[in-house]
Amino acid sequence: MKLHEYQSKQLFAQLGVPIPRGRVAASAAEAKAIAQELGGRVVVKAQVLVGGRGKAGGIRLASTPEEAEEVATQILAMQIKGLPVRKVLVDEAADIASELYLGVTNDRVARCPVVIASAEGGVEIEQVAKVSPEKIVKVLVDPLLGLREYQCRNIAAAIELPRDLWRDFTSITRALYQVYQRSDATLAEINPLVITREGRLLALDGKIVLDDNGLFRHPELAEMRDLDEEAPAEREARKYGLTYIKLEGDIGCMVNGAGLAMATMDVIKLYGGEPANFLDIGGGASAERVAAALDIILQDANVRAVLLNIFGGITRCDEVARGILTALKGRVGWPPMVVRLGGTNEEEGRQLLAEANLVTASSLVEAAEKVVALVKEAVP
């Protein structure tokens, strides 16, 4: 679950990270009132759960309340990467001398948290990593010891931060780490952390991604979920206990088990295809759940073919097949589907599907080859 910029910055501020004064508005009139209150130049920022808002025109400066109202009107009418803007954050504008990057995330290889910093902030860190990896500093954190002060000073030195800012930088970095750690986040990021013309550090942007599996421990964070901002398909999936993540490709995937789902996506890519989604129907999925999953996959207009990869353990293949048939019943036309069923009751499952004229495969590789070929045929 992602938090909005304004929510993330509030959590940072609670632990002492300096953020600009400002508030959220849902209308242009409200934005104007906030600008009036702040009394001066403001920045109006689209609150959507995607990055790169600046480039998309979702972040604009305004020198008067009237101008703030004007740009808020424009931003509130925008869609950024397909998401309609429903709220804007109106912040006191900062005079920026330079922009830094500061983030905490999981280092999966090292199996511990990592603090990442760079003097090249404001742009996407992935971009910096590609173009000038030497400008990125990484420090691993022992989760039992937490982030130590000396580590923060090492980071400050490595990004050549002016000496007089080291103390503030240390408390900001430690606060960021605490937010990350206490809220079971997978990412806590300030980009940019700016040095203002007055020579102060200020967190201009904030991003927090929470681990959904830890959310039950944080009802107050779970409450921050913005249902409006979630893809409807993801909301629907959660209702049925499915894990669905929409991706950019055109091959819909329905798999049982997260690991198998990842492997399936990898194999699709290996054979030249692009998965349209990640979907784990979980163990012991009922026909009803399978039907819901297939409906969700087919709602994605990009999907040109579907790969179903089911390994029956606790899950029974015939039950899955029945779910597929239920989902297809009454549907007029559907994209080609390749089904790989293996394990418990696979014979019965295959028989049921053969009657529905679905393509079957006996191995994942075969299934991936077939589905990629079908997509290539389907492209007009």
Our finding on whether 99 is near ligand GDP (CB under 6 A) is yes
Amino acid at 323: G
Complete DSSP assignment for 210-243 = E-GGGGGG-HHHHTT--GGGS-HHHHHHHHTT-E
Residues 161-220 that bind Mn ion (CB under 5 A): 191, 205
281, interface contact from Mn ion, ligand GDP, none, CB < 5-8 Å by kind: none
Our finding on whether 22 is near ligand GDP (CB under 6 A) is no
Based on the residue annotation, tell me whether 101 is a catalytic residue of this protein. Answer: yes
Stated length of the chain: 380
Catalytic residue among 6, 69, 101, 177: 101
Alpha carbons 129 and 136: distance in angstroms, whole number: 7
> Residue 111 corresponds to which tokens in the numbers above?
């199996």
Our finding on whether 94 is near ligand GDP (CB under 6 A) is yes
How many of the chain's residues bind ligand GDP (CB under 6 A)?
A: 17
Alpha carbons 226 and 235: distance in angstroms, whole number: 11
Cβ distance to ligand GDP smaller for residue 99 or 120: 99
Our finding on whether 120 is near ligand GDP (CB under 6 A) is no
Strands (DSSP E) found in the chain: 2-3, 22-25, 42-46, 59-62, 79-80, 83-84, 88-92, 96-107, 112-118, 136-140, 185-196, 201-203, 207-210, 243-246, 251-255, 277-280, 305-312, 337-343, 359-361
The stretch near ligand GDP (CB under 6 A) out of 46-54, 145-153, 168-176, 368-376 is 46-54
Q: Mapping DSSP to helix (H, G, I), strand (E, B) and coil, where does residue 349 land? A: helix
Our finding on whether 256 is near Mn ion (CB under 5 A) is no
Based on the residue annotation, tell me whether 5 is a catalytic residue of this protein. Answer: no
Our finding on whether 283 is near ligand GDP (CB under 6 A) is no
Our finding on whether 96 is near ligand GDP (CB under 6 A) is yes
Our finding on whether 204 is near ligand GDP (CB under 6 A) is yes
289-320 per-residue burial string, b: 16 or more CB within 10 A, e: under 16: bbbbbbbbbbebeebbbbbbbbbbeebbbbbb
How many of the chain's residues bind Mn ion (CB under 5 A)?
A: 2
Pick one of 16, 39, 40, 52: the residue that binds ligand GDP (CB under 6 A): 52
369, interface contact from ligand GDP, Mn ion, none, CB < 5-8 Å by kind: none
CB-based contact 67:42 (threshold 8 Å): no
Pick one of 18, 51, 335, 343: the residue that binds ligand GDP (CB under 6 A): 51
Catalytic residues: 101, 189
- Interface ranges with ligand GDP (CB under 6 A): 43, 45, 51-54, 59, 91, 93-94, 96, 99, 122, 191-192, 204-205
- Interface ranges with Mn ion (CB under 5 A): 191, 205
